[in-house]
Structure 1
């Protein structure tokens, strides 16, 4: 049997380098990376469709500039495709075609201008909510599959203040665990700081969210990866997941309900989930590029990109899709955006896992071998803060252990945050509900990053990540309800990474 394959990232996240250097790491028009990938190949997942079936593709230019992007657009048209969206900032074009030979034809038409091309899903394009499907709102319902699975200003000082508790703040053990309640006495967030919630939309009418929603910066990216600026496009339709996440990040201190980690900052709804619950690569690309274009400071990403739990670089379609998302993340980071992401809910060690039985999730999953070139995105992309989930244990205390569902991994997890039975805002009745998942842990970290940016606005994304990790409270392994093995030290281990995120240190 093959030996366990390490997919460990660098323990210390490096400063983001120039995009030109980043994009030059993998070359050639074949579209599959080979250097550095373990010699055990991943299991192929062929993606094909007969003539007449409209499929979605991403094309990555050899060089990220407007000129080469235009060359790709012309190649798409010569190959009988349609250009859906172009992102010349990163050299990515989203295209649709109903020709089964599109990838071969467009590669020939583009020549040396094309670095890679790949299908972004295993089924035909079908955006929107199917007729007859009702919105499954419910108290705390987790209807969102898998997921519950700038400037050079100096630091800003502030005097301690008296904080009036919110009506349900006593139930928010999670805020006490990360010391957000103490941080609010020093700094509860600056209105200049904008957090992008890349998710299923935010309920604009919720009285415990409305004051902190920046409608002008909100967008819907689930329309085939095009930015839809319509007034209601970025609001939720079939899931209240994004509304719950938003409450944890920045529900205002307004005497109503709960309080968020950073109640003084603004949030933008960046909808990257279609009505069927999928987050395809072109949606994520749109979300990350949009966040930079709007000058956002932080994004939260409580999802993994469909249809693969792991995108493998030795598979041409998966490589091209992963590369497009990676470029979008790298470019937005260069523009000053720092990203937090959920580690996932498969109770898996991301550093040693060798199999995936859940992908592709938009058609028929197969059991496949994965190798060190296969990654959960965006959580395992360079520069993204990867967050594991903790549960309150023993019950009724503010002690914790790793949530039984949480993914883990030495050198993969950066920090940990509460993610089990988290009280936050939901759509039904403009109310509140409990949800569990690394999806609920990640927004705590996004909120702490927003507080940090409020207190220290001159920090770069790399500096913020370094501080976040250094300030985290060390936490030994302990055990989970599943008894999953933990490796590492109290200072850095596979369960909690560098430790429990600390809101108080972020503003001190």
Structure 2
């Protein structure tokens, strides 16, 4: 079947945005110009929609299994973008809790079961068949033919192995007494010592680092890490694996919340915050990862009630983000942290290209982070686009896997970089803000960081102040904290010390806003939220 003809035939059948279902499954003699690497003679073409947009999944004549996923190609037929994928055994189904029992009965009649929950709050489950010869593409087609998708099952998306990579580049006294702190020049660029005089974070603020695992016994991290997860091996041990670049997650965790002012190694952006690690990539800096693992990583962030999620990873290919993953991210960003939403930061990536409005970085609510050098210039590799919200320095000096297993022979690396290092710095800043103003929603934190950022002299911003390379500018920790703190704060300390003062109390001059913030802070925040409402077009 010609794919363009197929699209024309089924265009009137496209469901509302958000639904995912297979519309047509047909054998094709030749994949044609959509696939540039051949190898799909005798393949099947699965035509479906995801997030309201048409997609095509090409698969060879033999279905895959868990042990050996079938090679395939995931195609956006409108733009021609495509990616090599593995087709796993299962579909990611979205179902309301109230409908799950009935849906399970219908699936049982079709020879399928809900194998495991992926993200209960978002209604995302992995459905599978015991038939080893039936992979996710075939299952999704069969569910569509049975007419259950769009009804009991709101969505049914083939579980795919997608190529991931990390966003690294090859390459509290004040000041704290950590011996390698002097090499952390990026903290000076951000005037973090002045920010730490306002907030050093709080022990109950937890920043999740989704990456390739951490050195959970590192002397500058061990005491700061909450229990983590491994969605690769499906256990609770997030220890790093093997491979070149296996120190990546440890480096990110150190930039977020390394033990600070302890006379050991380096300082973290949020000295009193805690961190947790989720191992998403098995080892090294690139790997194929099943989509269900991506979803489970965010399910853990939701269930653990973390405050911030730092993501220095992305897809190898410039493909539209699968709706199931977008749903999981949005649920965490909107409904995590007790309903206030967790801040979800993503590195923009290091491909020196413009990111599309339907890619991972552009998921609604994601805080997209680019990287600048010590001169404030965008690094030559940092991606650009409307989804880039702010930039931060690329932090080179941070924690490394202890001993000789990491990037260096010691406990510290001086060669970390890329947007991978900028993202955890911004995540740590979000932790400082939430410790100072825990009632803020994730959207409010995003707006605050954007509104208080300082635009680069190299930028050419639009009428909203946004530049495709620099976003709204370089994050400004002091300005962000002053916007949510009284004009004359007391001694810097742990926000835990004020747990008994949750009710709004008069601030300086006897004034208090309904939010509990001092009046000047409330006005500043109102301005940031107004700016956010003007910018929502970027996330449509």
TM beyond 0.5: yes
Secondary structure of 1:284's counterpart equals: helix
Task: Give 1 or 2 for the bigger CA radius of gyration.
Answer: 2
The partner residue of 1:385 within 359, 367, 386 is 367
Is 1:212 matched up with 2:224? yes
Match of 1:271 in 2: 279
Q: Is the 8 A contact 2:22 2:141 kept in 1?
A: no
Q: Is the 8 A contact 1:199 1:273 kept in 2?
A: yes
Match of 2:160 in 1: 121
- Kindly report which structure 2 residues correspond to 1:348-359, keeping only aligned pairs within 5 A, or say none: 348-351=353-356
- Kindly report which structure 2 residues correspond to 1:78-477, keeping only aligned pairs within 5 A, or say none: 78-81=109-112, 83-86=114-117, 87-97=119-129, 98=132, 99-100=134-135, 101-109=138-146, 110-111=148-149, 112-121=151-160, 145-148=165-168, 162-215=174-227, 218-223=228-233, 228-229=235-236, 233-238=237-242, 239-253=246-260, 254-275=262-283, 277-305=287-315, 308-311=317-320, 322-333=322-333, 334-335=335-336, 336-351=341-356, 375-377=358-360, 379-392=361-374, 399-409=375-385, 411-419=386-394, 422-429=396-403, 431-433=411-413, 434-477=415-458
Q: CA offset at residue 169 of structure 1?
A: 0.9
**Equivalents in 1 of 2:301, 2:152: separation in Å?**
27
The 1:163/1:52 distance shift into structure 2, 3 A limit, reads closer
Q: CA offset at residue 446 of structure 1?
A: 0.3
**Equivalents in 2 of 1:402, 1:52: separation in Å?**
43
Match of 2:523 in 1: none
Q: Is the 8 A contact 1:189 1:451 kept in 2?
A: yes
Q: Is the 8 A contact 2:205 2:274 kept in 1?
A: yes
Q: Is the 8 A contact 1:415 1:469 kept in 2?
A: yes
Secondary structure of 2:382's counterpart equals: coil
The 1:35/1:463 distance shift into structure 2, 3 A limit, reads closer
- The count of residues paired between Structure 1 and Structure 2 equals 395
Pick which of 278-287 and 380-389 moved more.
278-287
The 1:389/1:57 distance shift into structure 2, 3 A limit, reads farther
**Equivalents in 2 of 1:35, 1:507: separation in Å?**
37
**Equivalents in 2 of 1:422, 1:204: separation in Å?**
21
Q: CA offset at residue 427 of structure 1?
A: 0.9
Deviation digits for residues 229-278 of structure 1, max 9, x if unmatched? 3xxx2111122211010011111111111101101101111222234733
Q: CA offset at residue 327 of structure 1?
A: 1.3
Report the RMSD for the aligned CA atoms in angstroms.
3.0
Match of 1:12 in 2: none
Q: CA offset at residue 502 of structure 1?
A: 1.5
Deviation digits for residues 12-65 of structure 1, max 9, x if unmatched? xxxxxxxxxxx974347447448986xxx87x451456246332444333xx52
Q: Is the 8 A contact 1:58 1:92 kept in 2?
A: no
Q: CA offset at residue 439 of structure 1?
A: 1.1
**Equivalents in 2 of 1:36, 1:83: separation in Å?**
24
Q: CA offset at residue 82 of structure 1?
A: 5.6
The 1:75/1:236 distance shift into structure 2, 3 A limit, reads farther
Q: CA offset at residue 73 of structure 1?
A: 4.4
**Equivalents in 1 of 2:282, 2:102: separation in Å?**
30
Q: Is the 8 A contact 2:90 2:139 kept in 1?
A: no
Q: Is the 8 A contact 2:208 2:301 kept in 1?
A: yes
Q: CA offset at residue 203 of structure 1?
A: 0.9
The 1:180/1:438 distance shift into structure 2, 3 A limit, reads same
**Equivalents in 1 of 2:436, 2:387: separation in Å?**
27
**Equivalents in 1 of 2:61, 2:309: separation in Å?**
35
What's the TM-score once normalised by structure 1's chain length? 0.71
**Equivalents in 2 of 1:412, 1:286: separation in Å?**
24
Secondary structure of 1:277's counterpart equals: strand
- Kindly report which structure 2 residues correspond to 1:15-94, keeping only aligned pairs within 5 A, or say none: 25-27=17-19, 29-30=21-22, 32-33=48-49, 44-47=56-59, 50-51=62-63, 53-54=65-66, 55-61=88-94, 64-81=95-112, 83-86=114-117, 87-94=119-126
Deviation digits for residues 472-508 of structure 1, max 9, x if unmatched? 1121336xxxxxxx66479421111111012222332
**Equivalents in 1 of 2:20, 2:281: separation in Å?**
32
Q: CA offset at residue 304 of structure 1?
A: 1.1
